[in-house]
Structure 1
Amino acid sequence: MNINNLLETTKEITRLRLPTVISSSIGLVIGLTAINLLAGCEQQPKTVAPAFDASEHSPGGKATIKNFNYRTFIKPGAHLTGLDRVDFWAGFTFFEMPWVEAPASTSVRDGLGPLFNTHSCLSCHGKGSRGKFFDEGIGEQSGLLIRLGPTHPNAPKVDPVYGGQIQVRTIAAAKKYLTDPLLPEAKIDLAFEYTDGQYADGESYQLRKPIIKLAELGYGELASGIGLSPRFGPNIFGMGLLDAISDKDLIAQEDLADANGDHISAKYNRGLDVVTGEKAIGRYGFKAKHPNLLQQVTDAFNNDIGIVNPLFPNEVCTDSQPGCQQASKITNPKGEHEIAERLVQDVMIFSRHIGVPPARNLEDTETQQGRELFYQLNCQACHTPSYTTSATYPHQDLASIKIWPYTDLALHDMGEGLADGVFENDANGKEWRTPPLWGIGLQQQVQGQQLFLHDGRARSISEAILWHGGEAQASQQVFKQLTATERKALIKFLRAI
């Protein structure tokens, strides 16, 4: 049964509400699925894909990469020329090169730690994409970070001893001068749980779920009410274009009360803008914690590498970590910024202008069939296909560009299967920001691996879809009922954008 017949049959079943009709018309498996979908499908008419737009070939508009070579995602958009490109590659050096302990022969890139997760941005965002594959067992992960947060609204926002993130490494040189120990906060104990399943046509699949614990805690147990939220480094291309989408266009998509009755309720996280001191719409991070790209980048410098900077001028040491505080006074006695403002700006030129890969084979017949299915499954309800960036965006080379990121940057309830149980600002334990889809089909070619979702559990696009629950449950269930030919077409479209 194809998607059109399935949707029409499901609507008819919903109208009649007769189990006998379910059994006789499409069989027990389809019938049981339809019962699960009644609440959603009753008010979800089939969405027809809009006419194909030639601009879909260049998802970043003029900021699309002109000659994508499949070796790396790190290339400037075609809009950058001349000295701007020189500045881009200057910023790249601070992304790529490892930071070292202070004092060092180079004062430009010293200041690592005292507590940290990784030596460089590149180790979490290999080739401008996601981190390295992580193995089961106890160890020091680089691409996989563990955020800490409250498991209920009345719990402390961060752990009083460990703060808001676990740091798995420490500097070594200053340890001989300390009177208190400087210990890694913990190691990550990783295992996977596997579940087998079948599509309606009998084809089998297997899902894996990471089971993550902390081992060798350096400073005692976590506080009561504090939970673990694993985060696997995201793609970083096109980040400046997401920054350039207007708040007005995002807020227009917010639907907390489900006013349109589609059972999907876009919600925007509101986080503190550390520059203005006011709350703003979150765009970055898996729960949309940070409102702008500058804050996202400088927070990563501080929490992941231990680099104090103009926006985050304090080390991550807490009062319960005297060894860390002592080490900080030895390595940075004046409490100065470990990356200067001018160098932050170089990094921002790089981060803002990493281009978006061009789409591939979009007008292929099978890809176009997949495009139709994308809309028929209502995927665009969360993965908003396109925007025109704000005309008043301060960096005018990214203003007024039509882009195709396939995200609303909003929070959605993704169900118990993906829940981490941790609150972050206005996001609860089941809510995640919709990730952009542009370029996801290139990860295998560029990196030699593909890992999706916030913790890297999904090894294919199909697995990522199968993990969708909550507000996306109806779309996931219909995906499972597609024929093998239809599934292949949908995945081909997703790999093409």
Structure 2
Amino acid sequence: MFFRIATAIALMGACALASHDYLIQTKALLSQADDNLSAEETERFILGKSFFRIPWVEAPSATTARDGLGPLFSANTCISCHPHNGAGSVYTADGTISRSLVTRFSLKGRSDPKRGFVPDPVYGAQLSINGVRGIPFEGKPTLVYETVMSSYPDGTRIELRRPLPGVKELNYGALHPDTTISNRLAPALVGMGLLNRIGDGEILSREDPDDRNRDGISGRANRVYDPITGTTLIGRFTWKASAPSIRHQVASAFHNDMGLTTSLYPMKNCTSVQKECLDAPHGRDALDVPDERLDAVSFYVSRLRIPEPAIGNAKGKKLFAQIGCAACHTPVMAMPDGKTIAPYSDLLLHDMGEALSDGRREFDADEHEWRTQPLWGIGKRTTVLNQRNYLHDGRARTIEEAILWHGGEASAARESFKSLSRFDRRAVLQFLEGL
């Protein structure tokens, strides 16, 4: 009897290990729920996942739970831009520009206290590449690259790409002469729930806008308008930290990417000159995404599990800190309950230099400033999901290229990385690939 029980336990353990080993090698890795969800929370997670993955359709439709798409839109599912909840890609397999790379518009040098920027008067905040039946799409993106060479002191040379974004086939006339064009790559979603729960005090404790400690790092929080409360809050999501909560970020994506209305964005995503868009049929509900569905998707995003890091390269981790990367990519942040997390981000804005400037302001974030990108899970996106675009516009094809684009406050860390031996540079990259 003991032998049979021991054998059964061993087999169960082997199956569990096999299941775990299989999971960490599959695209389901970034779609797992946190541990210890209650039955009610699990049901809510599954509901949110369904609205995240299943396509929305135009109105009117018999599919009343998912109608209201558009009239102008870029994608009909959330997963179109966030495949497997990882980061998006610049190009599809056939070489066309991916829906994960969106084209943003704003008037240079102008700001609005509630939006953080002033959109193009004809095309709004974002180019819609699709329209429902009878509604002309706004236009199509274009993208060319110019080559920029970077050299290491040891003579190694690496080719970088500087993107030159544009638009074509504009169906509603010309852009405003002051409109700037900036590309944004859909980011990975894992870990957002933990970042949402970090206290403001923990973020603000790392601010040093005047660089009083003279270390060359002067991070500051982005203070943004919150449409939920009507107050100013600390931004922590998007490339420029212009969204204060997951709920706000999800509602903004529904509005800009899919043309779906919510209680935060109750109006159609049409400008005053787009008559066909304004006159298009509404969904059967007053809002395309009622609060129950908005909250379910927000809950799904907030409870995605962070993948376990690989056994780290200890030397690479030490060098990462020594050369100054950890000054912004903070390894440890404290939660309100006293526990710690390792996002490798301070969630603050930092001046990244002219080479990464996109000509766009978002609330307090100026043209050169970007939120420190969290690094947890970055290696899994590459090894498991084969996602190989980095930085806000996907210009970098490797983590190494992303490092070499760092400027401004990160210039010293970049130069220190370049001064390492080839072996030590590889150690730093292996450490990052294990996160």
The equivalent position to 2:195 in structure 1, one of 231, 242, 253, is 242
State whether structure 2 residue 366 is matched by structure 1 residue 428: yes
CA spacing shift, 1:459–1:139, aligned 2, 3 Å = closer
Per the alignment, residue 349 of structure 2 pairs with 411
Per the alignment, residue 71 of structure 1 pairs with 27
State whether structure 2 residue 106 is matched by structure 1 residue 149: yes
Per the alignment, residue 41 of structure 2 pairs with 84
d(CA) in 1 for partners of 2:111, 2:302: 37
d(CA) in 1 for partners of 2:193, 2:408: 30
CA spacing shift, 1:153–1:111, aligned 2, 3 Å = closer
The equivalent position to 1:262 in structure 2, one of 191, 199, 215, is 215
Per the alignment, residue 332 of structure 2 pairs with 386
d(CA) in 2 for partners of 1:339, 1:154: 28
The equivalent position to 1:311 in structure 2, one of 257, 260, 264, is 264
The equivalent position to 1:490 in structure 2, one of 391, 410, 428, is 428
d(CA) in 1 for partners of 2:44, 2:94: 41
**Structure 1 vs Structure 2 CA RMSD:** 2.1
TM-score (norm 1): 0.79
Alpha carbons 2:348, 2:371 under 8 Å: kept: yes
The equivalent position to 2:54 in structure 1, one of 76, 97, 105, is 97
Contiguous gaps of at least 5 residues in structure 1 = 1-64, 176-181, 392-399
Matches for 1:223-234 after TM superposition, within 5 Å: 223-234=176-187
CA spacing shift, 1:375–1:245, aligned 2, 3 Å = same
Per the alignment, residue 279 of structure 1 pairs with 232
State whether structure 2 residue 120 is matched by structure 1 residue 159: yes
Shift in Å, 1:91: 0.9
The equivalent position to 2:69 in structure 1, one of 91, 112, 115, is 112
d(CA) in 2 for partners of 1:117, 1:133: 14
Alpha carbons 1:137, 1:190 under 8 Å: kept: no
CA spacing shift, 1:377–1:170, aligned 2, 3 Å = same
Letter in 1 for 2:247: L
Letter in 2 for 1:244: R
Alpha carbons 1:194, 1:206 under 8 Å: kept: yes
CA spacing shift, 1:154–1:440, aligned 2, 3 Å = closer
Alpha carbons 1:412, 1:433 under 8 Å: kept: yes
Alpha carbons 1:301, 1:308 under 8 Å: kept: yes
Shift in Å, 1:432: 0.7
d(CA) in 2 for partners of 1:354, 1:282: 20
d(CA) in 2 for partners of 1:145, 1:206: 25
Per the alignment, residue 396 of structure 2 pairs with 458
Per the alignment, residue 325 of structure 1 pairs with 278
Per the alignment, residue 191 of structure 1 pairs with 144
Per the alignment, residue 213 of structure 1 pairs with 166
State whether structure 2 residue 132 is matched by structure 1 residue 171: yes
Q: Summarize deviations over 1:404-450 as a string: whole Å, max 9, x none.
A: 00001111110111110111111111111111000101112222231
d(CA) in 2 for partners of 1:274, 1:154: 17
d(CA) in 2 for partners of 1:420, 1:371: 31
d(CA) in 2 for partners of 1:117, 1:138: 18
Identity %: 38
Alpha carbons 1:286, 1:454 under 8 Å: kept: yes
CA spacing shift, 1:384–1:154, aligned 2, 3 Å = closer
d(CA) in 1 for partners of 2:111, 2:233: 22
Contiguous gaps of at least 5 residues in structure 2 = 1-20
Per the alignment, residue 15 of structure 2 pairs with none
Q: Alignment length, in residue pairs?
A: 410
Shift in Å, 1:335: 7.2
CA spacing shift, 1:432–1:137, aligned 2, 3 Å = farther
Letter in 1 for 2:406: H
Shift in Å, 1:82: 3.2
Greater gyration radius: 1
State whether structure 2 residue 376 is matched by structure 1 residue 444: no
Letter in 1 for 2:124: G
d(CA) in 1 for partners of 2:124, 2:23: 43
Q: Summarize deviations over 1:224-267 as a string: whole Å, max 9, x none.
A: 32211210000000101000000011111111111111111101
Q: Summarize deviations over 1:104-135 as a string: whole Å, max 9, x none.
A: 12100111000101011101001111124416
d(CA) in 1 for partners of 2:393, 2:370: 12
